[in-house]
Amino acid sequence: MAGTMGARIRAAREASGMLAADLAERVGLSASAYSLIENDKRNVKANEATRIARALGISVLSLLEDEASPSLAAAARSVTTMHAADSALLARVNQIQDLRLALPPDRRHRHASWENVPEVDGLNEVAAARALADWVRASIHDHEKGAGRFVGLAEELGVHFGIDVIVESYPGDVIGAALLNRSYPTIVVNSTQQRQRSLFTLAHELGHLLAGEDGGITVDGKVSSSSPEERRANMFAAEFLLHRDDVARIVKESTRQIAPALARMMDELDGSYLSCVYRLHNLGYINAAGRDALIDLRRARFIESVEDEGLKVVLQSRSDELSERCVLPTQLLGTLKRAYRDGLVSAAPIAGLVGMSIEDVILMLTPTEPAPEVPVVFGEFDPVDVVDDAFSTGFPG
């Protein structure tokens, strides 16, 4: 990519599909003034660069760097298809990318596990999704069941792949996003959606990372996309979260009775009612008529029909909410803490990630001076005898 500021702005705008006149209007510039910027005949003010980056859904740093930033590759997806440039969630992702890019290169390390991702080129979409799901399943310990599965899986992704998972509440239709850079992979999940949907979003974004889309930002909204990338990510999420071996085990343990098996899938695998119904159909356990009958029955009526009273109570009482910051981005936090102590960043980004005040973060990260050692002189008595006497006779008064 060309190294001038104007060329980088032009490339980002063209990637988004936005016309120069439209972008100029959005950032409050005349068409002629904006044209001068793209042709490097006018300097860009700091506030103008910020407005341009925000309108294109990219980070300011991506316009300032000589090399193409990962966020440039996301402009077409995030702006033209979803209008996510105004999303607080996307702004958060760009903020995290800016933090990462602002750190020295030696603070960014690619986790070794990424070198072992299986090659799936040449496989059809279903076979590729299954191969990746099987590899992840064998690589991590996804043993947490029920409502705790999201947190357990997020923590495992951090340990085995160095993936930071951020769970925060955002307005709008954007439900998740990911930084597709394996040197600092990050998944952001909108906690305003149902917990089961959040779990699917987490696996969906992991699918993007596994597919080798190294570089860019993927943004996903409530409106489903039919692009090949989104379709592959959805297939991976279904194959991984509702793995065929788990479904086969549950069906077998339920003596091949579909209603008990469906209830157990919803409980153990934390799958939504509809996703479990579709999975049973796709794996051949129910036919189309059975699928449609269960869809028409709906979740609440199905749960009411569950014969296992204990399981029924669990499904009825389980909260659909996912708490903000139920997991923390440990990789990024560790890096930022070291950078703070080295004087490279302030306490503000750390406070934002952990939900604390800046003052509390400063206190937390400020080393405490060890108390000076004061020599103790006991004189003529034995302190052990004094303690023993106190416990045996009681303290005076």
The CATH number of the domain where 219 resides is what? 1.10.10.2910
- pLDDT (average), residues 80-94: 62
Residue 248, pLDDT > 50, answer: yes
Tokens 């102590």, residue?
A: 341
Q: Is residue 73 part of a domain?
A: no
Output the pLDDT for position 200. Answer: 94
- pLDDT (average), residues 108-132: 87
Say if residue 262 is in the same domain as residue 347. no
Tokens 């299986």, residue?
A: 118
Q: Is residue 24 part of a domain?
A: yes
Output the pLDDT for position 300. Answer: 93
Distance CA 314, CA 132 (A): 32
Output the pLDDT for position 391. Answer: 34
Say if residue 236 is in the same domain as residue 134. yes
Distance CA 249, CA 20 (A): 57
- pLDDT (average), residues 62-88: 46
Say if residue 269 is in the same domain as residue 205. no
Q: Is residue 388 part of a domain?
A: no
Residue 17 binned pLDDT confidence (cut-offs 50, 70, 90): confident
The DSSP annotation for 73-118 comes to: GGHIIIIIIT-GGG-HHHHHHHHHHHHHHHS-GGG----GGGGGPP
Tell me whether residue 31 is exposed, middle or buried, using C-beta atoms within 10 angstroms of its C-beta: 0 to 12, 13 to 18, 19 or more: middle
Angle at 201 between CA 243 and CA 180, to 5 degrees: 105
Output the pLDDT for position 42. Answer: 87
Output the pLDDT for position 3. Answer: 65
Q: Which domain holds residue 282?
A: 244-317
Percent of the chain residues topping a pLDDT of 70: 80
Distance CA 111, CA 244 (A): 28
Residue 360, pLDDT > 50, answer: yes
Output the pLDDT for position 395. Answer: 32
Residue 173 binned pLDDT confidence (cut-offs 50, 70, 90): confident
Residue 170, pLDDT > 80, answer: yes
Say if residue 309 is in the same domain as residue 350. no
Q: Is residue 339 part of a domain?
A: yes
Residue 69 binned pLDDT confidence (cut-offs 50, 70, 90): very low
More confident residue, 33 or 320: 33
Say if residue 126 is in the same domain as residue 201. yes
Last-in-domain residue among 191, 206, 241: 241
Residue 259 binned pLDDT confidence (cut-offs 50, 70, 90): very high
Say if residue 125 is in the same domain as residue 217. yes
Output the pLDDT for position 293. Answer: 96
Local structure of 231: helix, strand or coil: helix
Say if residue 218 is in the same domain as residue 138. yes
In this structure, the strands spanning 186-190 and 164-168 are: parallel
Residue 389, pLDDT > 50, answer: no
Q: What is the pLDDT of residues 190-243, one digit of tens each?
A: 998 889 999 999 999 999 999 876 667 788 876 555 678 888 999 999 999 999
Say if residue 254 is in the same domain as residue 148. no
Say if residue 32 is in the same domain as residue 152. no
Tell me whether residue 74 is exposed, middle or buried, using C-beta atoms within 10 angstroms of its C-beta: 0 to 12, 13 to 18, 19 or more: buried
Output the pLDDT for position 82. Answer: 44
Q: Is residue 38 part of a domain?
A: yes
More confident residue, 237 or 6: 237
| Residue 187 amino acid letter | I
Average pLDDT, the chain: 82
Distance CA 141, CA 153 (A): 8
Number of domains in the chain: 4
Measured CA to CA in angstroms, residue 128 lies from 132, 233, 284, 345 at distances of 6, 10, 20, 41
Q: Is residue 163 part of a domain?
A: yes
Output the pLDDT for position 372. Answer: 60
> Is residue 40 within 8 Å of 6, Cβ to Cβ?
yes
Output the pLDDT for position 100. Answer: 79
Tell me whether residue 135 is exposed, middle or buried, using C-beta atoms within 10 angstroms of its C-beta: 0 to 12, 13 to 18, 19 or more: middle
Output the pLDDT for position 266. Answer: 96
Residue 338, pLDDT > 90, answer: no
Q: Is residue 302 part of a domain?
A: yes
Q: Is residue 100 part of a domain?
A: no
